[in-house]
């Protein structure tokens, strides 16, 4: 590789100097820079050779023999410099056969280690340098070459090639004959080994291709399954009004995500925030609820409190702070561990809990609940944490998986832990109990100061892809009011 770099630097530095007077026409440029098979250009220059022909190439076959059959020069004036490597020649019999033919014609064959350049020099004044090998395969590849537009006699480029020539050693005809004879004797074995090697490589690539196709099909099937499940969940979440026991007075609310600049002491700052704002004349707090006689009664949500909201498109959930016309704050996590009045009962155990909604859309659960036993009221530390991954589709809740973490139980009675686990398992196996329990936890009705939110973060609930117009409708589950947010065209 080092020799190729050296010759390229010399050649192109002198080419740039020669082009100080730029090529004037597109035709001259096209004759100098070639991105094509250059065999025809080689043939023309070789046919017009007057004094010498020199070929530098690590790879060649019978194509070079045919190429050098045309000049009328004395064979001793034609030199081929290559990299004579017995190891790879065993797998390239065509080059050995071509070397024998060239040697039989009286051409000089030279060897220099590390050669990778492909150069044709004619009469020590014209040269072509490029990536194309002097092989039949080289004519089919995508190659690029440059021909010298000026005479290179006495150039540093040709002096470098002459230096290589002086460092090269001549390849004796007997060496070629001996090596070719041995290779031909082992031809069947070598061919069998090459076939095995090629088949092994092809087999490995084919196996990789099949694995990739299987992985693509698996992902497509999984995506189709999840999309089908999502549509079914969305269909249930969009349950019609005949099933809904609550509605927003005046019908569904249409809203839009709008940006505002914060105002401080009468001045607008450069800090921008987003808010989901109902259209003119519509509000979010006045609802109507059907009583046992199927009559609509007035129902009013307390302003600036947090209620559950759900996105219909992906079932993402959060607590949204509802004001008369807008939602600006959302909360994705609540931890109840210190306030005794906010604990819940699971079996005979007083439990603290936390509720989290994944911020990013998930293919499975949209609620993660944790419960822990509080054995000592004076020290309300977590004990025996039960984590439940839950999906709520707008109609019912279902526990997908549960797990227990008892890392902090080393100092407590193991019997209590076993009883707590059993109580959680019994409770979470019953979908109705789970739904009632979770809706009890979700009702919250927390005020702004209870959740201690400081950032206006409704933008975290939306992806900002597609529509920024939404339709908001009222829902109720187990007595808990919540809002369904649907994309609107």
Answer whether 251's CB lies under 8 Å from 485's CB.
no
Pick the CATH number of 2-185 from 3.30.365.10, 3.30.870.10, 3.40.30.10, 3.40.50.410: 3.30.870.10
d(CA 111, CA 84): 6
Q: Give every strand in the sheet of 246-248, ordered side by side.
A: 246-248, 286-290, 296-300
For 67, other C-beta atoms within 10 Å of its C-beta total 18
Nearest to 122 by CA among 33, 38, 51, 39: 51
Task: Tell me the C-alpha distance between 246 and 299, whole Å.
Answer: 9
- pTM: predicted TM-score of the whole model, two decimal places: 0.50
What pLDDT does 444 receive? 57
| Largest CA-CA distance found in the chain, in angstroms, rounded | 116
Of 456, 486, 445, the C-alpha closest to 314 is: 486
* pLDDT reported for residue 451: 62
Adjacent-strand bridge partners of 130? 118, 145
Write down the pLDDT at residue 467: 57
Cα(252)–Cα(287) distance, integer angstroms:
10
Q: What is the pLDDT of residue 193?
A: 76
pLDDT, position 57: 93
Q: Which two tokens stand for residue 193?
A: 């080994």
Q: Which residues of the chain have pLDDT under 50?
A: 1-2, 4-9, 12, 16, 18-21, 23, 240-242, 409-410
pLDDT of 5 reads 44
Contact criterion met (CB below 8 Å) for 259 and 328 = no
Bridge partner list, 134: 60
């Amino acid at each position: 590789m080092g020799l190729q770099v050296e010759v390229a630097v010399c050649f192109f530095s002198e080419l740039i100097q020669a082009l100080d007077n730029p090529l004037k026409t597109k035709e001259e440029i096209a004759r100098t820079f070639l991105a094509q098979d250059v065999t025809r250009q080689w043939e023309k220059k070789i046919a017009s050779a007057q004094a010498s022909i020199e070929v530098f190439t690590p790879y060649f076959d019978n194509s070079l023999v045919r190429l050098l059959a045309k000049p009328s020069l004395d064979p001793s004036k034609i030199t081929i410099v290559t990299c004579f490597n017995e190891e790879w020649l065993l797998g390239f019999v065509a080059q050995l056969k071509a070397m024998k033919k060239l040697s039989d014609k009286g051409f000089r064959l030279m060897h220099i280690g590390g050669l990778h350049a492909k150069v044709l020099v004619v009469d020590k004044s014209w040269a072509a340098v490029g990536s194309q090998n002097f092989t039949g395969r080289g004519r089919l590849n995508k190659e690029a070459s440059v021909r010298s537009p000026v005479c290179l006699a006495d150039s540093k480029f040709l002096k470098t090639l002459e230096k290589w020539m002086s460092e090269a050693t001549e390849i004796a005809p007997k060496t070629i004959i001996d090596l070719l004879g041995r290779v031909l004797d082992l031809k069947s074995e070598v061919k069998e080994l090459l076939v095995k090697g090629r088949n092994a490589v092809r087999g490995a690539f084919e196996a990789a291709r099949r694995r990739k196709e299987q992985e693509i099909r698996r992902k497509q099937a999984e995506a189709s399954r999840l999309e089908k499940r999502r549509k079914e969940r969305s269909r249930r979440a969009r349950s019609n009004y005949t099933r809904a026991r609550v509605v927003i007075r005046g019908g569904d609310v249409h809203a839009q995500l709008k940006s505002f600049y914060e105002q401080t002491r009468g001045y607008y700052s450069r800090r921008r925030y987003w808010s989901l704002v109902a259209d003119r004349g519509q509000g979010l707090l006045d609802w109507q609820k059907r009583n046992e006689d199927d009559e609509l009664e007035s129902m009013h949500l307390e302003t600036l409190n947090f209620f559950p909201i759900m996105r219909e498109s992906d079932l993402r959930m959060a607590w949204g702070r509802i004001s008369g016309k807008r939602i600006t704050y959302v909360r994705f996590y609540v931890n109840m561990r210190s306030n005794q009045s906010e604990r819940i009962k699971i079996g005979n155990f007083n439990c603290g809990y936390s509720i989290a909604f994944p911020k990013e859309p998930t293919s499975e659960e949209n609620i993660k609940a944790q419960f822990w036993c509080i054995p000592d009221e004076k020290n309300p530390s977590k004990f025996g944490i039960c984590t439940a991954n839950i999906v709520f589709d707008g109609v019912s809740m279902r526990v997908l998986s549960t797990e227990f973490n008892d890392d902090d139980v080393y100092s407590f009675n193991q019997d209590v832990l076993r009883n707590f686990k059993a109580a959680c398992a019994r409770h979470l196996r019953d979908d109705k109990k789970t739904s009632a329990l979770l809706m009890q936890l979700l009702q919250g009705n927390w005020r702004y100061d209870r959740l201690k939110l400081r950032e206006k973060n409704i933008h975290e609930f939306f992806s900002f892809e597609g529509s920024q117009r939404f339709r908001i409708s009222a829902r109720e589950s187990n007595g808990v009011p919540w809002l369904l947010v649907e994309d609107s065209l």
